[in-house]
A and B are shown apart, each in its own frame.
Chain A
């Protein structure tokens, strides 16, 4: 099974500042045949279902603000929120879909 590990578990960032979340997989999620990373990022707010932000490690979903950026390849990935807004307070999860599914443990983002 692929284990996903996020860091940090939580972070507090001032409004307008950058937030960075890291995600590491226990084995590669890069499929060599198509050169795609099977890595997604979700935003989860209380009382709502999770929302897919980014797929294939760096492809922003339609309607997702461009302040959200995904990067990385192989086993190391990053979600960056370039200028934190109040509505971005949530728990963020990385997920591999290379082999079945696994989520990271989540990173709680708050306002400092």
Chain B
């Protein structure tokens, strides 16, 4: 059974940093692209970042480019999102998701950026 479990969310002040993790199981992690997608309160889904299966290719939404870094550790079957220079508008539930298109999703982790 495919499982994706996000962690690392929480409350952080504007300008602060946070690292999200997504522990994957039930599939061959190194064979699939992985994404982060977020949903701000009352808003729609927003794609945040994507990493290819090998980890060599990364892509970012313009809204997070230069502030967020996606990475993966195939030895740990874990996806990461390093978030720096956080803004109030980054407040959202962050989901990790597998594949192209995204066929399995985690339950999400809430990130709140507030002073």
| A→B interface (CB under 8 Å) | 1, 38, 40, 42, 44, 49-52, 55, 61, 91, 93, 95, 97, 100-106
Contact = CB atoms under 8 A, between A and B. Distances in A.
Given A93-B45, A101-B59, 5 more contacts: A49-B107, A50-B95, A52-B102, A61-B103, A106-B45
A55 B104 CA distance: 13
B62 A103 contact: no
A103 B47 contact: yes
B44 A49 contact: no
B69 to A, nearest CB: 16
B59 A100 contact: yes
A61 B81 CA distance: 28
B45 A49 contact: no
A40 B35 CA distance: 15
A37 to B, nearest CB: 11
A106 B106 contact: no
Interface residues of B, number: 19
B46 interface: yes
B50 A49 contact: no
B106 to A, nearest CB: 6
Interface string B90-111: 0000010100111101111000
Contact of A49 (B46, B62, B106): B106
B35 A101 contact: yes
A109 B65 CA distance: 33
A89 to B, nearest CB: 16
A102 B45 contact: no
A50 B105 contact: yes
A93 B107 CA distance: 18
A93 B102 CA distance: 13
A106 B44 contact: yes
A51 B61 CA distance: 21
